[in-house]
Structure 1
């Protein structure tokens, strides 16, 4: 909220400088966001009157003016403004005057100059040249009673400061100049000038029938008819200036009066053209499908969740937010109806945002407006309208179908001292609340307040605690160190941090991305196989309408974004949360009923397996690269990979990742269908997605002594069926020998014989095309003594027998 300091000091004028006043307000919770002078510095600019204005002899667009600047003799000044004419009073910069700095930051000094052969002894100024507004269409015309020769800064009261407050929603009672003045009086003890509202005597008895159907929308509705107004009357300059300094441009006298009272007292009001109202007015909730053309020119379609003021034929106004165009006042208006209402904040909150606009009235009503001063503010509006626009007022109608009832609130002094963190006496608490104008009743160790109508925010004890703290001053609160012991949360040795996972993936060549948790519904349906994703009630964009159940869709978007910009090698990962339906989840401090929100880590790679270099042959990344990255990420734990299917991945190139028998994720190649649908290059991207909790688990290293004896290596070449997997072979080998004897077993060769290689083995051995040869190296060692030949031979025979029994392997020979 913006207002001039001079207006505030008319209500309360404490003995503080501008900066001290701003500091006091800020330390009381009314943050002063900006202090700005009304006009920049300038000097030797006075009120001048144009006595004569004739055409310049050598220029079509210039006039030679004779100006009385209060110095006795008339000054000859050449001016090009279109409104330069005899009889008007304008700002006149004398020779030697300094105008506000221009774009170069330097002040502009007025000198005697010659324009097209005519000497000019000064300059006539526009509002923009004085820095008071952006209007530069002509000279700034002053009032006819402006004293010639008076300094313009003093006449226009330009030595003033604009305050801009950044108020929190609970300080709605300070959304007016008088409301801020009440706070200043409470903070400084300076006397408060309380405005009076003398009743304007009615001249006739005409009334407008009004009915309030929705008492949960409107608690009080007041209004009066005023006949014979002059809507074309000029708004007084003092009112125009004050509105401008509040950031509000002048529109017309009636509209300006309504806006002025809103800034002065915090009371939004509306003025109807009485002759355009059909019958009476009705306050109700809108009917679905009704339409209303607003004052801003837009036409909106209403639903049953927004309040309206309607007559017998149509909707006339959006309750508490904006009036309608159908009953707007105009230059032809003669009779008006002035309305001031109390709208329940919950009935107004958020309604204007449904139609993508905001108003000053809606901003105030959704926070709360004083319900106890409707009639007084109607009297204030009436007095200003009659004084400026004339007219004959009628009696005031005041309907009170559902007024809020103030309930007493009790403050315990001990509780206040504990929350604020400093010793407080009952006298201090009671004094602070009385300075705010509250009626206080004291009892043993407590004070009770019945909030006045303008303090609708005082509901619970903590509200009074806050008021006491504000009156004490936040800057006066002591700095108290915390008394509770602070213990660092030490991570268990068998658990690593998410940062360590990020660092491990970065070491593997991946780059981290951070994406939105709400995604396009198409991704969920196609890439996650989720037919019923969790929908957002109020999405920020149509393509972000559901919550993600997989990270792969976001990574695929990042991948395509980079590939579309000619990136040849992309490796990205994300650590983020996904959202799944789970009826077993109960509500708690960290969970939402019916929804499981686990953390996952996912990666995606495309392009070359390695950066371009001379020592490695270039090749495209494949499934085994992604599988190796997963193994490196989980190390030293050893994962098991088994064939599986996933909506995003190639059916024959996808594996489920198992750790200690539990499925923790998937690794695989992108499905050809999605590669084509997303217009990706021929080289298929590979990816993985794992449960973060499983990845964070780290097995503690076990101490194992170094073998004292020389190890023995033996290679086995076995013939197995094509469908036999590596895991089956390794599991059989490890089952055959104890871990104290078998130190390692590694597959180092796979051979699929061709017809030309039949000489290597008999036709019986390699008769079927679905056979393959696997070469496994065994490392054997003993703990107590070197292995003998008999022990080695027995171990080999045990392995061969186990392979034959488990996978149907046949030995091709060993060394």
Structure 2
């Protein structure tokens, strides 16, 4: 929301300077995004008079001027067709920076003739689009004076970020009201003119009361549409609005000034009366932005007897818009349901200033006054005679009341504000306060306090206020958010108890483990597009009111967000991408805690030792999965690796980690080529997801765990190599070997696999190292032989033989 300081002061009577106003806006919760003063960038441009103008000796389209900018004659080469002796314009001195392109003016030679500065056009100074010639000022403009100061451009433009709940601040007057309540001035009275009407009002009707509860309108006949007056055009241009014509500029001005969108129709283009109804399949609207939009039954439109002219509350049609030839107009002032506006705008992908206000909720009680102000400006600036107003339907303007005790301010917000000050603040904001204040009296010698009981009537422009906590927020906001004290929470005596839940503790360990293994954490939206959700199995939760079509489905997997982040990193030249995210998947039954990761690019960079870069493999993903499961407290020693993972992964190069055949704890592998292509990724990409909610919780024994007792004797290691069928998984053999003697064998790991000469075709050689831990005494040779025999026997049950 942009406005100039002078525009603000048309509503706020104040002596406060700009820094005070900016600080006040921030303190009451209206974040200032930026301030720009056009006078600052035009400080080096001065009013100058052209003394002489002669043709350039080397160029027919150039002239050599002598100009006086207050310090004597200066020679300038100029190509403007309107440059002539006696013209008063704007001159950029040496060293000035041209706003439109950032060029620094300096002494130079143009076709062999010295030039010292520049005579400027409106476009070069970013004051308009006119570039047909240099600026022409009135002959009495003071030569040598700063152009910005003389033209009244020393007017800072303030840009304020308006949160979705503050629909009242989508107009300059609403912001002025807040500042007045904060003590930075007084709010000027809003003058609503009385319209002298002649003749009946226009034919307007409502057939979609759900989308458009109220449709007020008035006609003005005999208007003359041209350029808007300088004061209006200047204010609109200052905030980035392009002046179009008086009729159009009036509606834009009222929308920004009072937060009330309106629309003006050229009555010559209408066939019959106007009706607010639902759109129909097949209907098209050529909007004012030059684009056509197909409407449907879920949208509210404004139509006549033959065609649709307006996407209700969002944008008017080009066919019925006001032009220079317009003589009779119909002014529409309607109330559109915020929910309908939001859905329509999202479906059409259409944004506008009107939509930004209607979907927040404009003041439903301001239709009559808004129509009267618009009618007055039309008749005052364009002439013509106005009709009576037609009022179809009624807006939802029923008064809303809240029961409030001013003591609730201190109880909820921790800010002690007196009852009288709270009442002043609320009434300054437009609330009506009735009821009795707190009283203190003695009854039979006993002090008795009766709490205050107020009934607060919410103003029609504050749709966001529902209960007493909202009233507290209003009071605290105006007192100043900087006045809220920083009060530490009370702490119970003794040893502090853990504040993290077991689930939070698990997530903390997993996050630290992933970071320690070289993965960078990503934080993505929990919403993805329908196409992305379909690529990972489809989403179960679809939002009824999404931020955009690309954020419509609650993610069923963390992979889409991680893959998008991977692509962005790769596009910026990252040779190796290692990302993880800890968040929630949203499935049909509930949301599930998950940690996902993606490894892409180079695992090992190319160098003189490696010869070429090494990509990641499915085994790298499996390694990450096991490490993350261990950090989460899963019984890693009991994990089993099963077949292929979901359709997001490459068949034959993926798998799952399970506790038994049904409990899936994780899936991992090489990304499916089609999924990688969908996200614009090249090369081998591996990924995985660990399902933290599937990890069984540790049983609470109720006893303290035994103290750690390191073994007194050194462990013994033995190596075995078995020849076994290629179809047998190495993990199956390792598990069998480890279980051959559960008491003595504490670890078993695969350290080599060989296929080739000396090994029969269809077979493979797997080398396994086992670790034996003696207890109270060392192993005897007989005990070692017995354990070895048990290991060999376990392998033989799987078809393996000890390799000679």
TM-score bin, normalised by smaller chain? 0.7 to 0.9
8 Å Cα contact 1:93-1:110 kept in structure 2: no
Residue 215 of structure 2 corresponds to: 221
1:459 maps to which of 462, 466, 470: 466
Q: How does 1:92-171 map to 2 (within 5 A)?
A: 101-102=97-98, 126-128=121-123, 132-133=127-128, 135-142=130-137, 153=148, 155-171=150-166
- Deviation, structure 1 residue 262: 2.5
In 1, Cα distance between equivalents of 2:261 and 2:665:
59
How far did 1:21 drift?
2.0
Size of the aligned set, in residue pairs, is 768
1:359 to 348, 352, 356: 352
1:501-530 CA-to-partner distances (Å, cap 9, x unmatched) read 325644xxx88888887789899889x7x4
**C-alpha separation in 2, matches of 1:620 and 1:92:** 64
The equivalent residue for 1:321 is 314
2:453 matches 1:446: yes
Q: Using a 3 Å threshold, how does the CA distance of structure 1 residues 539 and 775 change in structure 2: closer, same or farther?
A: same
Distance 1:293 1:556 in 2: 35
Deviation at 1:300, TM superposition (A): 0.9
Flag the 1:637–1:432 CA change in 2: closer, same or farther, 3 A. same
Matched with 1:371 is: 364
1:408 aligns with 2:407: no
Asked if residue 638 in structure 1 is aligned to residue 632 in structure 2, the reply is no
Aligned to 1:4: 4
Instruction: Sort the Cα spacing of 1:29 and 1:554 in 2 relative to 1 into closer, same or farther, 3 A.
Output: closer
Native 8 Å contact 1:656 1:663 kept in 2: no
| Partner-residue secondary structure (3-state), 1:10 | coil
1:656-692 residue CA offsets vs partner (Å, 9 max, x unmatched):
54558985557887699989999x9xx9998876545
| Partner residue, 1:30 | 30
Pair 145,172 (structure 1): closer, same or farther in 2 beyond 3 Å = farther
Cα 1:142–1:512 change in 2 (3 A) is closer
Q: Distance in 2 between matches of 1:136 and 1:779?
A: 86
CA drift at 1:127:
3.2
How much does 1:368 deviate?
2.5
Counterparts in 2 of 1:222-237, with a 5 A limit?
222-232=216-226, 234-237=227-230
TM-score, normalised relative to structure 2? 0.75
Q: How does 1:161-560 map to 2 (within 5 A)?
A: 161-188=156-183, 190-202=185-197, 204-232=198-226, 234-444=227-437, 445-483=452-490, 489=499, 497-503=509-515, 505-506=517-518, 530=537, 534=540, 547-549=555-557, 551=559
The 2-side partners of 1:736 and 1:691 are apart by: 31
Distance in 2, matches of 1:618 and 1:146, equals 72
Aligned counterparts of 1:812 and 1:142: Cα–Cα separation in 2: 102
Q: CA RMSD in A?
A: 5.9
SS state of the match for residue 433, structure 1? Answer: helix
Contact 1:189–1:435 (CA under 8 A) maintained in structure 2: no
Q: Is the 8 A contact 1:430 1:442 kept in 2?
A: no
**Is contact 2:792-2:802 (8 Å) kept?**
no
**Residues 400 and 68 of structure 1: CA distance in aligned 2, closer, same or farther (over 3 Å):** farther
Residues 760-795 of structure 1: CA deviation (Å, up to 9, x unaligned): xxxxxxxx99899999898888656666777677x4
Between stretches 659-668 and 235-244, larger displacement belongs to 659-668
1:616-695 alignment to 2 at 5 Å? 637-639=636-638, 641=640, 644-646=643-645, 657-658=657-658, 663-664=663-664, 690-692=690-692
**CA apart distance, 1:363:** 1.8
CA distance in 2, matches of 1:101, 1:387: 41
Could you tell me how far apart the structure 1 residues matched to 2:110 and 2:563 are? Answer: 71
The 1:630/1:248 distance shift into structure 2, 3 A limit, reads closer
Q: CA deviation at 1:137?
A: 3.1
Partner of 2:365, secondary structure, is: coil
Question: CA distance change for structure 1 residues 189 and 314 in 2, over 3 Å: closer, same or farther?
Answer: same
Measured after TM superposition, the shift of residue 346 of structure 1 is 2.6
1:309 partner SS: strand
Evaluate the alpha carbon distance shift between residue 205 and residue 47 of structure 1 in structure 2; reply closer, same or farther with a 3 A threshold: farther
Q: 1:604·1:687 contact (CA, 8 Å) conserved in 2? A: yes
In 2, distance between residues paired with 1:17 and 1:142? 31
* Distance in 2, Cα, partners of 1:79 & 1:612: 61
Residues 434 and 786 (structure 1), Cα distance of their counterparts in 2 relative to 1, 3 Å cut: closer
Distance 1:667 1:77 in 2: 74
- Any idea what the Cα deviations from partners look like across 1:707-747, whole Å, max 9, x if unmatched? 56x999999999988877777777777777572x6677788
**Structure-2 change in CA distance of 1:108 and 1:451 (3 Å):** same
Question: Aligned in 2, Cα 1:353/1:408: closer, same or farther, shift over 3 Å?
Answer: same
Counterparts in 2 of 1:180 and 1:90: CA distance versus 1, 3 Å: farther
Equivalent pair of 1:278/1:313 in contact (CA under 8 Å): yes
| Equivalent-residue separation in structure 2 for 1:266 and 1:626 (angstroms) | 55
SS in 2 for 1:483: coil
2:18 matched residue in structure 1: 18
* In structure 2, distance between residues paired with 1:775 and 1:464: 74
Give 1:90 deviation, angstroms. Answer: 4.5
Residues 313 and 602 of structure 1: is their aligned pair in 2 closer, same or farther, counting only changes over 3 Å?
closer
**Are the equivalent residues in 2 in contact too, given 1:736–1:798 (CA < 8 A)?**
no
The Cα shift of 1:230 comes to: 1.7
Q: Aligned-pair distance for 1:466?
A: 2.0
Distance (whole Å) between structure 1 residues aligned to residue 376 and residue 672 of structure 2: 78
Given the superposition, is the C-alpha separation of residues 497 and 436 from structure 1 closer, same or farther in structure 2, using an over 3 Å criterion? same
Give secondary structure in 2 for the equivalent of 1:21: helix
Distance 1:639 1:211, change over 3 A: same
Deviations 1:125-162 (A, max 9, x none): 53356664564432334579989999755653233222
Preserved contact between residue 32 and residue 166 of structure 1 (Cα < 8 Å):
yes
Aligned partner of residue 25 in structure 1, secondary structure: helix
Alpha-carbon offset, residue 57 of structure 1: 8.5
Q: Shift in Å at residue 805 of structure 1?
A: 9.7
C-alpha separation between the residues in 1 aligned to 2:802 and 2:391? 105
Deviation at residue 430 of structure 1 after TM alignment: 0.9
Which has the larger displacement, 697-706 or 318-327? 697-706
CA 737–229 in structure 1, closer or farther in 2 if over 3 Å, else same: closer
Distance across 2 between alignment mates of 1:462 and 1:417: 11
Q: Counterpart of 2:448?
A: none
State the alpha-carbon separation in 2 of the partners of residues 376 and 195 from structure 1.
10
SS of 1:317's equivalent in the other structure is: strand
| TM-superposed deviation, 1:167 | 1.8
CA contact (8 A) 1:804 1:810 kept: yes
Distance of aligned partners of 1:332 and 1:517 in 2 relative to their CA distance in 1, 3 Å threshold: closer
Q: Could you tell me how far apart the structure 2 residues matched to 1:75 and 1:487 are?
A: 81
- Taking the aligned partners of 1:314 and 1:546, their CA distance within structure 2 comes to 39
Change (3 A) 1:292 1:575: closer
Structure 1: distance between partners of 2:516 and 2:63: 79
For the Cα contact (< 8 Å) 2:654–2:667, is it kept in 1?
Answer: yes
For each residue in 1:183-211, what CA deviation from the matched residue of structure 2 results, as whole angstroms up to 9, or x when unmatched? Answer: 33322263433132332323x41432111
Give me the whole-angstrom Cα distance separating, in 1, the residues matched to 2:603 and 2:73: 87
Relative to 1, partners in 2 of residues 1:118 and 1:447: Cα closer, same or farther, differing over 3 Å? same
SS state of the match for residue 39, structure 2?
Answer: coil
SS of match in other structure, 1:211: strand
Q: Is the 8 A contact 2:278 2:301 kept in 1?
A: yes
